[in-house]
A and B are shown apart, each in its own frame.
Chain A
């Protein structure tokens, strides 16, 4: 049953924990009831699992260090995955992204990221490709393939909502072979890739062929 009336200013002060002057019995009861509901709700909130800290630190450690700021590009990457990129921006953004990839998540000291060598060499003929994997049970997921020199720590993916892991990479046009690496030990194909081929070791590699206009997968 609703009465359609808003709380008066006195009731709002009361709920703010401030002196409220005279409230009608009805309003006070209504306010108290809401406060009780809030208390019950707040009391029932279980805290966020402290295990989350370790998941964050694992991702942080894989990055090795804070990426250097490249202001405009970082703001773009930080705030949006859905900005539609027009073809005419590709060259400029690809160059910027190649720079970001270099400066961003990198292999441990002493190793050089395969993605870096590829991105720096390819120049303008690179295209953004987004990799995604649904893996809610995983503790870590990375992409490893021909464009990372098969390094498993060059392209860590970030876990999003509903256990969907993702990363966006600037890749040169042409064919690329790769798999996802789950929990650093399990190599898993990409069901959305164009094809799966024999890797020569009894396993499979996922293959995508990237054209200059981008990639279409399911």
Chain B
């Protein structure tokens, strides 16, 4: 049976820093896709995650609820991702989003192009909408889970997700 977050955090605070690795593995798995989908660029997402883990370590003594390390770490990660996206916004060319056409021969290319299309559209959402949308649809979280992680009410989160969907529908075309 795997040790709880609280157990690992307490061991690390007591001096066994190698234990931190369990938290890193656990939350890379849990939040990796979130970072990727919010940031959009794999290298940048990895940088953000790495930085977040290091900052979390440096501030571990200030984590008031070691058993809830995940939620506490998520805030740090979300901040890192947000800062990164804000900086990259100046650099990335938004361009127009072209809805995919119908005549595609190769299924793999098709998927890749669809993915790229969604990626471009996601970049047009507000940070809150993108984050909520990713948590709902990429991570498949319930609104309750999301509320715990983000620290915002369920209704507000639903609003963000719904608006994100509406924007995406608008950008990507409503007709099949």
Chain A partners chain B: yes
Question: A residues bordering B, Cβ < 8 Å?
Answer: 1-7, 12, 15-16, 26, 29-30, 32-34, 36-38, 40-50, 52-53, 55-57, 59-61, 63-69, 71, 74-75, 78-79, 104, 158-163
Whether B17 and A60, one on each chain, are in contact in the complex, defined by CB atoms closer than 8 angstroms, is yes
Assembly CA distance A50 to B24 (angstroms): 9
29 A-B contacts, Cβ less than 8 Å apart?
Answer: A1-B99, A3-B173, A3-B175, A5-B169, A5-B174, A6-B169, A33-B176, A37-B114, A38-B118, A38-B137, A41-B138, A42-B33, A43-B111, A44-B115, A45-B138, A48-B45, A48-B49, A49-B46, A55-B50, A56-B53, A56-B57, A66-B57, A66-B58, A66-B60, A67-B58, A68-B61, A74-B58, A158-B54, A160-B47
- Please give me the residue from chain A that is nearest to B174 by CB atom: A3
Whether A48 and B46, one on each chain, are in contact in the complex, defined by CB atoms closer than 8 angstroms, is yes
Query: Size band of the B side of the interface?
Result: 35 or more
Whether B21 and A53, one on each chain, are in contact in the complex, defined by CB atoms closer than 8 angstroms, is yes
Whether A40 and B111, one on each chain, are in contact in the complex, defined by CB atoms closer than 8 angstroms, is yes
Assembly CA distance A185 to B83 (angstroms): 32
What's the dominant secondary structure at chain B's contact region? helix
Whether A42 and B138, one on each chain, are in contact in the complex, defined by CB atoms closer than 8 angstroms, is yes
- Name the A residues within 8 Å of B55 (CB-CB): 78, 158
Assembly CA distance A49 to B46 (angstroms): 8
Whether A161 and B84, one on each chain, are in contact in the complex, defined by CB atoms closer than 8 angstroms, is yes
How does the 8 Å CB contact mask read for B55-88 relative to A, with 1 for contact and 0 for none? 1011111100000000000001001000010011
What's the dominant secondary structure at chain A's contact region? helix
- Name the A residues within 8 Å of B112 (CB-CB): 44
Q: How far is the CB of A177 from chain B (nearest CB, A)?
A: 27
Whether B28 and A52, one on each chain, are in contact in the complex, defined by CB atoms closer than 8 angstroms, is yes
Whether A30 and B174, one on each chain, are in contact in the complex, defined by CB atoms closer than 8 angstroms, is yes
Whether B47 and A44, one on each chain, are in contact in the complex, defined by CB atoms closer than 8 angstroms, is no
Q: How far is the CB of A146 from chain B (nearest CB, A)?
A: 25
Using A47-B33, A53-B24, A71-B62 as known contacts, say yes or no to A7 and B50 having CB atoms under 8 A apart: no
Q: How far is the CB of A169 from chain B (nearest CB, A)?
A: 15
The answer, among B50, B87, B115, for a CB contact under 8 Å with A56, is B50
B171 proximal to A (CB < 8 A): yes
Assembly CA distance A161 to B17 (angstroms): 25
- Please give me the residue from chain A that is nearest to B51 by CB atom: A160
